[in-house]
Each structure stands twice: as C-alpha cells, then as structure tokens.
Amino acid sequence: MENEEDVDIMVRVKSYLDAIPEKAQKDSYRVISRLVETYLIVNCKHNIVEDSIDVDVEKSKTIHYCENCLLTFDCKT
C-alpha cells in the first residue's frame, strides 16, 4: 500500500475514533487513538493551511491544519 493510501485510511480511522465522547473512552481506546495520531504526524506529507474559525458572534480565531490528515498545528508567527 502506498503511503498516501495508508494516510487516507488512518484519517478515516481517526474520525471514527473521535466519534466516541472522551468520557466514554477507556484507557486502551485512548492509546489506540494516540497511536493513530502519531502515525499521521509521522507519515503524512503535511500541507498546512491557515484558516479562521468563529469562536463566538464577535470573535474569530486563526487555526493551522493539514489539508491531508486534518490534524491541527500550533504555528506561532
């Protein structure tokens, strides 16, 4: 399997894992979730984009995320 296909599959896996609320996650579940996230951090060819999200009606926040794996990054400029 090519790396990009692996990353695409892991992105889908992460979205399924993230669907369960944190309060309902057991320790072993959180370990698996962290392993998937680590896999994406290491193996994705990140394409970081900057976007703005609304925090409330009058305030927005700048975020940075990868278009490929959808992980967010703390990019201080």
Q: What is the pLDDT of residues 39-49, one digit of tens each?
A: 999 999 999 99
Q: How many domains does the chain have?
A: 1
- C-alpha span between 66 and 31 (Å, rounded): 22
Q: Please determine, for residue 77, whether its predicted confidence score (pLDDT) is greater than 70.
A: no
The Cα-based distances of 28 to 14, 17, 36, 37 in angstroms read 15, 12, 13, 14
Q: What is the pLDDT of residues 6-31, one digit of tens each?
A: 999 999 999 999 999 989 999 999 99
Q: Please determine, for residue 67, whether its predicted confidence score (pLDDT) is greater than 80.
A: yes
- Domain of 31 in residue numbering reads as 3-73
